[in-house]
Amino acid sequence: MTALSSRTGQPRDRGVSLRSDNALLAQIAVTVRHRRLAAGITQEVLAGLSGTGPRFVRELEQAKPTLEIGKVLAVLQALGLRLALDVHRPLESSRDK
């Protein structure tokens, strides 16, 4: 499993999304490309294995910021990868305010 975390490891003031965290998306893109090449498969083959299309795989490897998370997860699964989330700080409940 490849652990994916933020650049600094510091708590964030906003929610994390693939669209807003370009460093995370870039790390996912590089990991997907390296894993695909290590497996010796083309983008077309990976698309077939993941139930996506070659265009989606190409855009994922290029770190396009508007990717559909379900398809990203399908590609990761096809490559034997998974996305892990780290909790940097607990959520504040309305009772704590």
State if pTM tops 0.75: no
Label residue 44 by pLDDT band (50, 70, 90): very high
- C-alpha 59/C-alpha 69 separation (Å) is 13
- Can you tell me whether residue 15 is helix, strand or coil? coil
Label residue 93 by pLDDT band (50, 70, 90): confident
Q: Where are the domains of the chain?
A: 22-86
- C-alpha 87/C-alpha 97 separation (Å) is 20
CATH number of the domain at 22-86, out of 1.10.260.40, 1.10.3720.10, 1.10.150.120, 3.40.190.10?
Answer: 1.10.260.40
